[in-house]
């Protein structure tokens, strides 16, 4: 039996998350659920996509990921279930899943077409039963009408030339660290045999650390994190506040022969 993960913008002070779980358990009381987070800001698809993209591959293949962020969607946003990278995703077709992976989907269906339900709480009434059925081994192709494609939004893309990489801060985490879209793979290729300068917010650095603690307390560290992306922080401090950087701030790496 597959795991179901839960990612929502419902918070933890109300009944919503418990109601979603109760619906899943009513379909199959043996299902194991894992909370990713329920602290996504209301309708913040960028944050939700960042979190889900960062963690979904850590779960076993076949895991079902229920995403209840901006769940009611915009007008005409369908409820969908898709299979991609051997994982299943259930939620609103509001652009979130297109930010999670750029791989071609294996299966895609529109939910709520066999027996239509009008609900102001689709996470409970539509997403939860579909996720529970998938986790119980029901084929995705039986859950709704086949679709050809789903909505995809374009996230900030790193730009790279032989002389420069330009990236952006995609997330300020709970520590105040700045997570960028600059990849270690691109840096390793372009930096070979070259001197480099990392520039952001008026600051310039020529060193990349391998561990956070290599910086002194209150000093800036720059690492490639476990996701393979450039991360900027202040050791035992808040980089976003102290450096004045936030979501979408520009980070450049300049290369010199």
Domain boundaries, the chain: 4-146, 159-256
CATH, range 159-256 = 2.40.30.90
Taking only the tens place, the pLDDT of each residue in 23-66 is: 999 999 999 999 999 999 999 999 999 999 999 999 999 999 99
Distance between CA atoms of 105 and 88, rounded to whole angstroms?
A: 10
**CA 157 – CA 166 distance, rounded (Å):** 9
Segments of the chain scoring below 50 in pLDDT: none
pLDDT given for residue 27 in this prediction: 97
Torsion angle of C-alpha atoms 89, 92, 93, 95, degrees rounded to 10: -90
Which residue from 44, 42, 43, 86 is spatially nearest to 65, judged by alpha carbons?
Answer: 86
Domain boundaries 4-146, corresponding CATH code: 3.40.50.10790
Contacts of 11 (CB under 8 A, 6+ apart): 38, 39
Task: Give the three-state DSSP class for 255.
Answer: strand
**Tokens linked to 132:** 């529970």
pLDDT at 86: 98
pLDDT at site 132:
98
Residue 243 backbone phi and psi in degrees, to 5: -100, -10
pLDDT of residue 92: 96
Q: What pLDDT is recorded for position 155?
A: 76
Q: For residue 225, what pLDDT is reported?
A: 95
Predicted local distance difference test score (pLDDT) of residue 74: 80
- Give the pLDDT confidence score for residue 117 in this predicted structure: 83
The confidence score (pLDDT) of residue 119 equals: 87
Please give the structure tokens belonging to residue 94: 């509001």
Mind listing the pLDDT tens digit for each residue in 232-246? 999 999 999 999 999
Residue 103 and residue 93: Cα distance in Å, rounded? 16
User: In b/e form, how buried is each residue of 103-125, taking b as 16+ CB within 10 angstroms?
Assistant: eebeebbbbbeeeeeeeebbbbb
pTM: 0.89
Q: pLDDT value at position 76? A: 82
CA 137 from chain centre, in angstroms, equals 25
């Amino acid at each position: 039996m597959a795991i179901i993960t839960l990612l929502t913008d419902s918070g933890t002070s109300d009944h919503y998350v418990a109601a979603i779980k109760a619906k899943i358990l009513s379909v199959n009381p043996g299902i194991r659920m894992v909370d990713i987070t329920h602290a996504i800001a209301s309708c913040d698809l960028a944050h939700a996509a960042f979190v889900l993209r960062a963690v979904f591959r850590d779960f076993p293949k076949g895991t079902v990921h229920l995403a209840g962020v901006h769940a009611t969607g915009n007008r005409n946003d369908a409820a969908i279930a898709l299979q991609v990278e051997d994982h299943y995703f259930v939620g609103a077709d509001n652009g979130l899943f297109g930010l999670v992976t750029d791989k071609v989907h294996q299966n895609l269906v529109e939910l709520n077409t066999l027996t239509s339900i009008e609900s102001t709480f689709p996470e409970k009434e539509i997403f939860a039963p579909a996720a529970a059925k998938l986790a119980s081994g029901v084929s995705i192709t039986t859950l709704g009408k086949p679709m050809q494609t789903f909505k995809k939004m374009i996230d900030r893309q790193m730009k790279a030339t032989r002389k420069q990489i330009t990236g952006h801060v995609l997330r300020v985490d709970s520590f105040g660290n700045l997570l960028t879209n600059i990849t270690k793979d691109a840096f390793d290729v372009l930096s070979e045999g070259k001197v480099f300068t990392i520039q952001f917010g008026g600051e310039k650095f020529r060193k990349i650390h391998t561990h956070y603690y290599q910086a002194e307390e209150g000093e800036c560290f720059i690492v490639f994190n476990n996701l393979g992306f450039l991360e900027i922080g202040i050791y035992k401090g808040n980089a976003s506040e102290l450096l004045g950087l936030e979501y979408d701030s520009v980070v450049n790496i300049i290369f010199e022969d």
